[in-house]
Amino acid sequence: MSAPLAERIRPTTLEDYLSQQHLVGPKGALTTQLESGILPSLILWGPPGTGKTTLANIIANRSDRPFFMLSAVDSGVAAVREVIEKAKKTDTLFSTKNPILFIDEIHRFSKSQQDSLLGAVEKGLITLIGATTENPSFEVIPALLSRCQVYVLNAFSKKDLEDLLARAIKEDKILSKKQIKLTETEALIRLSGGDARKLLNILELIVLSEKSDTVIITNEMVLQKVQKNTVLYDKTGEQHYDIISAFIKSIRGSDPNAAVYWLARMIEGGEDIKFIARRLVILASEDIGNANPTALVLANSTFQAVSTIGFPEARIILSQCTIYLATSHKSNASYAAINEAQRLVKQTGDLSVPLSIRNAPTKLMKELGYGKNYEYAHNYEGNFAPHEFLPEDIVGTTFYKPGNNPKENNLKNYLKSLWKNKYDF
């Protein structure tokens, strides 16, 4: 039985590798590393079907190193240790080129599994290449992440995918024997969700389903032959971004019914529950903030809970949090405040810290006026003294403007009572 089309035309050299020129082009980061002969451990982060496994194989071939491969889906600590032991033995034969251990879907490894890699990576027994579709900042333990370079693979452009289709039709040993005319590509690309592997699978399915050696591919033909219900929700394609957008905007718009509907769409589509929970944490601060500080506490608890519980019960926790956030008072005042503060910092640069609020741990600093005239708030009635804390150049600037909701209206009145004429809300 022949291998799938995606495997048959898998590139074996950087020259044949599609896209990712920022990594593998003439001046790409990985190209430079390979030319120098010094290859660090690295994490390849990008959407499914963008060539992470292919790139790992090419790196191994190009650097002439022994290559070991594990999938985090079906490998445990024992498998990792076994490969490391093999790598040690191999390393005695290739002393100047330590072996490469490629771990696909490394984000699926538990903390203990990732811990088992640390020693070998740190001692240089192996060069680790991990592939992940998830943000490594969240999914890879800090100790391991700090020992790796992270390279981001971009989603394929429409032109990249069209070039891939043309290459498959021209170069594949099976498809090249047929007379294939690709008149339209929109349906193929949309149904693939930008995943090159899925794109090639669909192409092969369509071509091999035709008895004739002449195959004319149109959008209508593709939609007729491909089971639509398998692509109702693509976790990495346009639907992924559209539905999470609809979910967030429904909560922001205080519509719990729509929010729960879009949550159900993501759950039924197999979306990563931690991705959903992370977005709820962000929303709790960005769109609710001090209008209801408990929202952030609940959202963070939701993230911790679903990470521990998993499906199917996690859906209940996500639903509770979603409804709570959707029905909460809203305010983006904290979000707007940090945006405005960062904008001003970029505009004004490193303004001097007022002398009165500088740290004065030494005698010299005190003599220079550091900390002089600082008013310690707790020495005053109401634990407040009207001191000036901003740099002189931006005195009087207001970043935080409380929203119009019960909680922040109280904050607004409190600030006015303290600062008298300073705040004009």
Q: Which CATH number fits the domain that encloses residue 168?
A: 1.10.8.60
Asked whether residue 423 carries a pLDDT value surpassing 90, the answer given is: no
The pLDDT assigned to 249 comes to 93
The kind and range of the H/E element at 394 are none
First to last CA, the chain: 73
- Computed on alpha carbons and rounded to an integer, the radius of gyration of the chain in Å comes to 28
Q: Are residue 252 and residue 225 in the same domain, yes or no?
A: no
Which residue range(s) make up the domain with 374?
346-419
Residues whose CB falls within 8 Å of the CB of residue 273, separated by 6 or more in sequence, listed in order:
267, 306, 307, 310, 311, 314, 315, 318
Mark whether 166 and 216 lie in a shared domain: yes
Is the distance from CB of 166 to CB of 188 less than 8 angstroms? no
Q: Does residue 321 sit in the same domain as residue 361?
A: no
Q: Which of 106, 127, 152 is the last residue of a domain?
A: 152
Query: With the C-alpha atoms ordered 255, 258, 264, 269, is the resulting torsion angle positive or negative?
Result: negative
Q: Which candidate, 76, 207, 172, 65, places its Cα nearest to that of 124?
A: 65
pLDDT at 350: 81
Going by pLDDT thresholds of 50, 70 and 90, the confidence category of residue 229 is: very low
Q: How many CB atoms lie within 10 A of CB 2?
A: 10
Same domain, 58 and 103: yes
Q: How far apart are CA 17 and CA 163, in angstroms?
A: 11
Q: pTM of the predicted model, to two decimals? A: 0.55
Give every CB contact of residue 370 below 8 A, 6+ residues apart in sequence: 355, 358, 359, 360
Banded model confidence at residue 336, pLDDT cuts 50, 70, 90: very high
What is each CA distance from 114 to 110, 172, 254, in whole angstroms?
Answer: 6, 38, 41
Instruction: Tell me the backbone φ, ψ of residue 104, rounded to 5 degrees.
Output: -80, 140
- The residue ranking higher by pLDDT, 382 or 234, is 382
Distance CA 4, CA 208 (A): 12
pLDDT (average), residues 343-354: 85
Q: pLDDT above 70 covers what percent of the chain?
A: 94
Domain CATH for 44? 3.40.50.300
Q: Domain containing 252 — which CATH number?
A: 1.20.272.10
The predicted structure's pLDDT at residue 408? 86
Distance CA 408, CA 401 (A): 9
Secondary structure class of 179 (helix, strand, coil)? strand
Banded pLDDT at 276 (limits 50, 70, 90): very high
Kindly state the DSSP code that residue 392 receives in the 8-state scheme. Answer: G
- DSSP E strand stretches across 66-188: 67-71, 100-104, 127-132, 149-152, 179-182
Which residue carries 């002398």 as its tokens? 355
335 in any annotated domain: no
Q: Are residues 60 and 141 in the same domain?
A: yes
Residue 2 lies in a domain: no
- Cα 334 to its chain centre, rounded Å, is 24
User: Could you give the number of structural domains in the chain?
Assistant: 4
Residue 230 has pLDDT above 60, yes or no: no
Out of 230, 265, 281, a domain closes at 230
pLDDT tens digits, one per residue of 182-197: 999 988 988 887 888 8
- Distance of alpha carbon 425 from alpha carbon 420, whole angstroms: 12
Q: Which two tokens stand for residue 348?
A: 């004004």
Q: How far apart are CA 85 and CA 265, in angstroms?
A: 45
What does the pLDDT read at residue 419?
84
- Domain shared by 260 and 204, yes or no: no
Q: Residue 109 and residue 139: Cα distance in Å, rounded?
A: 9
SS3 content of the chain, % helix, strand, coil (to 5): 55, 10, 35
322, 303 in Cβ contact below 8 A? no
Asked if 191 and 245 sit in the same domain, the reply is no
In-domain check, residue 3 = no
Residue 74 belongs to some domain of the structure: yes
- Are residue 32 and residue 133 in the same domain, yes or no? yes
pLDDT of 244-271, one tens digit each? 888 999 999 999 999 999 999 888 877 8
Distance between CA atoms of residues 73 and 70, nearest Å: 9
**4 domain residue, yes or no:** no
Task: Name the residue with higher pLDDT: 216 or 108.
Answer: 216
pLDDT digits (tens, 9 = 90+) for 38-90: 888 999 998 888 899 999 999 988 888 888 888 877 777 788 888 888 877 76
On whether both 299 and 208 belong to a single domain, the answer is no
Verify that 205 and 284 share a domain, yes or no.
no
The pLDDT value given to residue 348: 85
In the sheet that holds 67-71, the strands lie side by side as: 67-71, 100-104, 127-132, 42-45, 149-152
Alpha helices by DSSP H, 209-289: 219-225, 238-252, 256-268, 273-283
- Picking from 177, 196, 230, the residue at the C-terminal end of a domain is 230
Q: Please check whether residues 27 and 136 belong to one and the same domain.
A: yes
Residue 14 lies in a domain: no
> Does 340 fall in a domain?
no
Share of the chain above pLDDT 90, in %: 29
Contact 72, 103 (CB under 8 A): yes
pLDDT, one tens digit per residue, over 308-332 is 888 788 999 999 999 999 999 999 9
Question: 219 and 242 in one domain?
Answer: no
Average pLDDT of the chain to the nearest whole number: 86
Residue 163 maps to a domain: yes
